[in-house]
Amino acid sequence: MRKIISSISALAMLLALSLPIMSVAKSAEFFTIGTGGPTGVYFQVGNSVCKMLHKQAISAEHGRKKGTAKAYRCTAPSTGGSNYNIGQIKAGEFQFGVAQSDWQFHAYNGSSKWEGKQFGDLRAVFSVHNEPFQIWARKKAKVKDFDGLKGKVVNIGNPGSGQRGTMEELMKAMGADMNMFKGTTELTSSQQVKALCDGKIDAFGYSVGFPNGAMEEAATCAAKAMPINLTGGPVQGLIDGADYYAKAVIPKGTYTGQKKDVTTFGVKATFVTGANVSEELVYLVTKAVMENFEDFKKQHPAFAFLEKKNMIKDGLSAPLHPGAMKYYKEAGLM
Ligand code: GLU
């Protein structure tokens, strides 16, 4: 009898002990990817990554792929953009983020806006689409080039966005300061198009992939806006002076009423993380994107030209995270 009781209690104890362990093993681990405004392309990058990962996780849970120790779940909320995302990764609030190649460089090296705040533990995962830096102006404002912005009301972007920083770098290169404008606003990317269409601002600066629905709205609303060319010595100086900038062209016909190519300079959108994020998680995220690549590319027209071999090197100045490197080596990409 005593033996039975003791074995029953041993069983109960075993059950009590194993229940929480079992539920821990089954419960998912949540993480966050910082994106950009809801009408931008970063929002699609982050949410597409989550979609690919969840797809992979579902097939694992349904027994088609075994060996995934943990179930990971992610969310990719809209945020203030590049510099905000990098700051949140540094603070441990986000595990991943999308950021312009110029801000990846500056954060990792402690230059420009990141002077005195260097984030040496920033790690690269892959790069994504091209982001030409664009200044869109409403037709009636008659802005033909950078100098034409004198005396205009210009949205310079919200603090934390990549475009805000890149606009400031462009102003520096042009030897100009914000006083050249009649006024400036700090609207977010999702607010700026409405402001332009309503005639509240004359122009805005934005680094974003194309084609982009919000820019099509700017081209077709009452503003009949178009991006201006950003060329000439100072812009060429930016391109020649840094690996994270390149010449960029938005081909004619990309937007309604766009009769000519628009030439400017641009950056790459990149996917970044922190050195303290686990190798397992970064590996799984990288693998989910690379092994569902055709599906990933269909998630936004700006992804149509992505190629794996470029994604593992272009626009990356921080070291690759070991989890990403592990996948690239395993897949024979490196
Ligand atoms: N390049 C912008 C930024 O860094 C975001 C563009 C987008 O949301 O697609 O803030």
pLDDT tens for 128-165 read 999 999 999 999 999 999 999 999 999 999 999 999 99
Number of domains in the chain: 2
Between residues 27 and 19, which one has the greater pLDDT? 27
Residue 275 lies in domain:
28-129+268-330
Residue among 315, 293, 313, 317 nearest 305 (CA): 293
Name the token pair of 39. Answer: 């009408």
pLDDT tens for 256-295 read 999 999 999 999 999 999 999 999 999 999 999 999 999 9
pLDDT on residue 12: 45
The CA distance from 214 to 265, in Å, is 20
| CB contact at 8 A, 259 and 229 | no
Q: What are phi and psi of 274, to 5 degrees?
A: -115, 155
Residue with tokens 């402690």: 110
Please list, residue by residue across 246-284, b when 16 or more beta carbons sit within 10 angstroms of its beta carbon and e when fewer do. bebebeeebbeebeeebbbbbbbbbbbbbeebbeebbbb
pLDDT on residue 66: 52
pLDDT on residue 167: 98
Say how many Å lie between the CA of residue 5 and the centre of ligand 1. Answer: 65
Q: Do 166 and 283 fall within a single domain?
A: no
Whose Cα sits closest to atom 9 in ligand 1? 41
Q: Do 160 and 114 fall within a single domain?
A: no
Q: Do 140 and 258 fall within a single domain?
A: yes
Please, which pLDDT band fits residue 5 given cuts at 50, 70 and 90? very low
The CA distance from 334 to 328, in Å, is 6
pLDDT on residue 58: 73
Q: Do 195 and 272 fall within a single domain?
A: no
Q: Which of 189, 206, 244, 267 to mutate to test the pocket of ligand 1 (most atoms within 8 A of CB)?
A: 189
CA angle 170, 79, 91 (to 5 degrees): 95
The reply to whether ligand 1 has any atom less than 6 angstroms from the CB of 36 is yes
The CA distance from 50 to 233, in Å, is 42
| CB contact at 8 A, 57 and 71 | yes
What pTM does this model have? Answer: 0.90
Q: Do 145 and 224 fall within a single domain?
A: yes
For the chain, what percent of residues have pLDDT higher than 90? 86
The CA distance from 62 to 296, in Å, is 21
Where is the domain boundary, 267, 291, 320? 267
Residue 179 has pLDDT above 80, yes or no: yes
Q: Do 120 and 238 fall within a single domain?
A: no
